[in-house]
């Protein structure tokens, strides 16, 4: 019983600290990301409107976008859910695209996977005025 109380207290403190540190996301989103075992970190002060996850491109290996872009964040998704069950690749790709879309990303590049997680850089296409 005491272990459960300590576990719940630890999670609550972690969520409060995370919600205070990340002003771009509300506490509900932070809790959802914790439960889903995913993170999204914006690396720019600029904000971009959220996009449709179905329109986010996933560039793997030797693929790269043929338009100018800017790296706006880093997305990470655990290969395992909260209960320890391994996620399928389709699920990982969908989760990554949803994370990228949530901060206004148009694509994911430099996709890296290891035994624990999938990580990629979130990019936003840049408009060039001529």
pLDDT the model gives residue 23: 47
- Tens place of pLDDT for every residue, the chain, 130 residues? 555 544 555 555 555 455 444 445 678 878 888 888 999 999 999 999 999 999 999 998 888 899 999 999 999 999 999 899 999 999 999 999 999 999 999 999 999 999 999 999 999 999 877 7
Distance CA 118, CA 96 (A): 8
In sequence order, which residues have a C-beta less than 8 Å from that of residue 96 and are 6 or more positions away?
58, 75, 77, 108, 111, 118, 120
pLDDT the model gives residue 11: 58
Per the listing, tokens 């995913």 go with 38
pLDDT the model gives residue 35: 85
Q: What is the pTM of this model?
A: 0.76
Distance CA 67, CA 49 (A): 19
First to last CA, the chain: 66
User: H/E element holding 110?
Assistant: strand 107-113
Dihedral pair phi/psi, residue 25, rounded to 5°: -115, 145
């Amino acid at each position: 019983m005491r272990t459960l109380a300590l576990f719940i207290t630890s999670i609550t403190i972690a969520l409060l600290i995370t919600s205070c540190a990340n002003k771009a996301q509300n506490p509900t989103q932070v809790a959802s990301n914790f439960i889903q075992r995913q993170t999204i970190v914006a690396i720019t002060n600029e904000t971009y409107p959220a996009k449709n996850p179905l329109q986010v491109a996933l560039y793997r290996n030797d693929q790269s976008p043929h338009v100018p872009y800017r790296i706006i964040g880093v997305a990470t998704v655990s290969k395992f859910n909260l209960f320890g069950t391994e996620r399928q690749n389709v699920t990982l790709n969908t989760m990554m695209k949803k994370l990228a879309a949530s901060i206004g990303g148009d694509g994911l590049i430099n996709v890296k996977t290891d035994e624990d997680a999938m990580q990629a850089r979130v990019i936003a296409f840049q408009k060039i005025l001529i």
